């Protein structure tokens, strides 16, 4: 059989091969150890020099041609298999997606935005600080003595002390932000400090981690009347009720003097608590004039600068405003609860349209 006839026979078999296995069978039949082309190449050794000189180029060209055609056929079959797989696995992006529950804004995030909007209108900036604090910033600078119950291990989460280092704690309030602000900025100061705080407590109205907002004003000639007006304005805007009555009761906090507990007038209607009126009273926050010792600890002269501070739980504000009964549900990651109490992404609080949804 001539080389042209053999090439035609092999290429015809290759053209009929419809799978990688069939192509491999053609390759073995032609180029394997016992293949037809391999046998031709072996026969060159039995030829005389002149015949080998004439025949060898023909056999070599035949082997190269068949090898190239086999590789081309393998590549074509590979492309076809890939295209078939891609077609079978294709996702039509023009089709509607599987229905997905739209996300909602957590009530805590919404209330933080409401607080920022209200106090920004009163000239307050938002300040932040670390959640892992030094003992000095969290307790000592705030005039909390070493024997104070707040420092007890059963109330505070302490980090393992480093050798020769200061003891670190998970901050129990956002008051350290006030200290850091007074030490880094010159008065006058008007800030709120919202954020996460940590205390060792857990029940229906307490969690080990919760959210708190504190406010601080440092200026000249500040008195308790400024504090009362600020809190009244805040409560009216937050609860969106004009008939708001506050009651300031004497209290004690190490970092304020005088100190007050602030109650808001409220009433029960159909088993629901409503802010407004004076039928009943509900404690909502603690406040007072910044203690002169705290001002001095921050490097300021208490004879020149005075101020007031206040603090309340953001979680409890949300519970009171939006009718939630169990604080632990805030942290359960229950999508049904979040769908019910959550807010749409575009429900941005504004004073003109109302901070609540």
- pLDDT tens-digit readout, 138-165: 999 999 888 777 777 667 888 877 777 7
The whole domain housing 225 covers 107-341
Q: Within 10 Å of residue 292's Cβ, how many Cβ atoms?
A: 16
Start-to-end CA span in the chain (Å): 91
Within-domain flag for 100: no
- Arithmetic mean of pLDDT, 49-78: 89
Considering the domain architecture, whether residues 34 and 173 belong to the same structural domain is answered as no
> Mean of the per-residue pLDDT values for the chain?
87
Tokens of 60: 């070599």
- With a cut of 80, say whether residue 194 has pLDDT above it: yes
Considering the domain architecture, whether residues 80 and 141 belong to the same structural domain is answered as no
Name the residue with higher pLDDT: 19 or 1.
19
- Arithmetic mean of pLDDT, 208-229: 93
Name the residue with higher pLDDT: 290 or 88.
290
- Separation of alpha carbons 230 and 194, rounded Å: 17
Within-domain flag for 93: no
Radius of gyration from C-alpha coordinates of the chain: 40
- Separation of alpha carbons 76 and 20, rounded Å: 10
| Longest alpha-carbon distance in the chain | 124
Considering the domain architecture, whether residues 66 and 141 belong to the same structural domain is answered as no
- Separation of alpha carbons 190 and 217, rounded Å: 5
- Arithmetic mean of pLDDT, 274-291: 88
- Separation of alpha carbons 176 and 194, rounded Å: 12
Considering the domain architecture, whether residues 256 and 337 belong to the same structural domain is answered as yes
- Separation of alpha carbons 118 and 238, rounded Å: 7
- Separation of alpha carbons 193 and 176, rounded Å: 9
Within-domain flag for 355: no
Within-domain flag for 58: yes
Peptide bond preceding 258: is omega within 30 degrees of 0, i.e. cis? yes
At residue 206, the pLDDT reads 67
Tokens of 105: 């804004």
- With a cut of 60, say whether residue 357 has pLDDT above it: no
- With a cut of 60, say whether residue 180 has pLDDT above it: yes
Within-domain flag for 346: no
Considering the domain architecture, whether residues 77 and 193 belong to the same structural domain is answered as no
CA 110 to chain CA mean position, Å: 15
- With a cut of 90, say whether residue 262 has pLDDT above it: yes
- Arithmetic mean of pLDDT, 296-315: 94
How many separate domains does the chain show? 2
Answering whether pTM is above 0.75, one says no
Considering the domain architecture, whether residues 79 and 115 belong to the same structural domain is answered as no
- With a cut of 90, say whether residue 54 has pLDDT above it: no
- With a cut of 90, say whether residue 343 has pLDDT above it: no
Considering the domain architecture, whether residues 319 and 204 belong to the same structural domain is answered as yes
What percentage of the chain has pLDDT greater than the value 90? 39
At residue 250, the pLDDT reads 94
CATH code, domain carrying 235: 3.30.930.10
Name the residue with higher pLDDT: 235 or 341.
235
Name the residue with higher pLDDT: 202 or 125.
125
Considering the domain architecture, whether residues 185 and 305 belong to the same structural domain is answered as yes
Considering the domain architecture, whether residues 63 and 155 belong to the same structural domain is answered as no
At residue 220, the pLDDT reads 93
Residue where a domain stops, chosen among 87, 122, 144: 87
At residue 353, the pLDDT reads 63
Within-domain flag for 206: yes
Considering the domain architecture, whether residues 60 and 134 belong to the same structural domain is answered as no
At residue 249, the pLDDT reads 93
- With a cut of 70, say whether residue 202 has pLDDT above it: no
At residue 326, the pLDDT reads 76
Considering the domain architecture, whether residues 171 and 263 belong to the same structural domain is answered as yes
Within-domain flag for 201: yes
Within-domain flag for 325: yes
At residue 158, the pLDDT reads 85
Q: For residue 306, what pLDDT band results from cuts at 50, 70 and 90?
A: very high
**3-state SS record for the chain:** CCHHHHHHHHHHHHHHCCCHHHHHHHHHHHHCCCCHHHHHHHHHHHCCHHHHHHHHHHHHHHHHHHHHHHHHHHHHHHHHHHHHHHHHHCCCCCCCCCCCCCCCECHHHHHHHHHHHHHHHCCCEECCCCCEEEHHHHCHHHCCCCCCHHHCCCCCCECCCCCCCCCEEECCCCHHHHHHHHHHCCCCEEEEEEEEEECCCCECCECCEEEEEEEEEEECCCCHHHHHHHHHHHHHHHHCCCCCCEEEEEEEECCEEEEEEEEEEEEEECCEEEECCCCEEEEEEEEEEECHHHHHHCCCCCCCCEEEEEEEEHHHHHHHHHCCCCHHHHHCCCHHHHHHHCECCCCCCECCCECCC
- With a cut of 80, say whether residue 63 has pLDDT above it: yes
What percentage of the chain has pLDDT greater than the value 70? 94
- With a cut of 70, say whether residue 111 has pLDDT above it: yes
**Of 158, 215, 170, nearest to 197 (Cα)?**
170
Considering the domain architecture, whether residues 124 and 58 belong to the same structural domain is answered as no
């Amino acid at each position: 059989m001539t080389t042209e006839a053999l090439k035609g026979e092999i290429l015809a078999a290759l053209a009929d091969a419809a799978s990688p296995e069939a192509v491999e069978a053609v390759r073995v039949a032609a180029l394997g150890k016992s293949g037809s082309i391999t046998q031709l190449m072996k026969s060159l050794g039995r030829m005389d020099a002149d015949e080998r000189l004439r025949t060898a180029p023909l056999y070599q060209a035949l082997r190269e041609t068949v090898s190239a055609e086999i590789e081309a056929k393998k590549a074509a079959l590979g492309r076809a298999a890939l295209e078939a797989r891609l077609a079978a696995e294709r996702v039509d992006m023009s089709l509607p997606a599987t229905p997905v529950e739209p996300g909602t804004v957590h009530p805590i995030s919404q209330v933080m935005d409401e607080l920022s909007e209200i106090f920004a209108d009163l000239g307050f900036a938002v300040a932040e600080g670390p959640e892992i604090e030094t003992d000095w910033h969290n307790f000592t600078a705030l005039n909390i003595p070493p024997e104070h119950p707040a420092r007890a291990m059963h109330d505070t989460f302490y980090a393992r002390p480093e050798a020769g280092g200061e003891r670190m704690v998970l901050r129990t309030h956002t008051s350290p932000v006030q200290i850091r602000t007074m030490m880094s900025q010159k008065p006058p100061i008007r800030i709120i400090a919202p954020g996460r705080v940590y205390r060792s407590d857990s029940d229906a109205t307490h969690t080990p981690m919760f959210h708190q907002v504190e406010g601080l004003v440092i200026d000249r000639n500040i008195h308790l009347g400024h504090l009362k007006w600020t809190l009244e304005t805040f409560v009216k805007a937050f609860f969106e009720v004009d008939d708001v009555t506050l009651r300031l009761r004497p209290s004690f906090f190490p970092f304020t003097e005088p100190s007050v507990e602030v109650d808001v007038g409220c009433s029960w209607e159909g088993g629901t608590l409503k802010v407004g009126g004076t039928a009943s009273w509900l404690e909502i926050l603690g406040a007072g004039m910044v203690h002169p010792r705290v001002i001095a600890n921050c490097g300021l002269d208490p004879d020149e600068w005075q101020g007031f501070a206040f603090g309340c739980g953001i979680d409890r504000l949300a519970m009171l405003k939006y009718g939630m009964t169990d604080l632990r549900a805030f942290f359960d990651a229950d999508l049904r609860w979040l769908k019910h109490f959550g807010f749409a992404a575009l429900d941005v609080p504004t004073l003109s349209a109302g901070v609540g949804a």
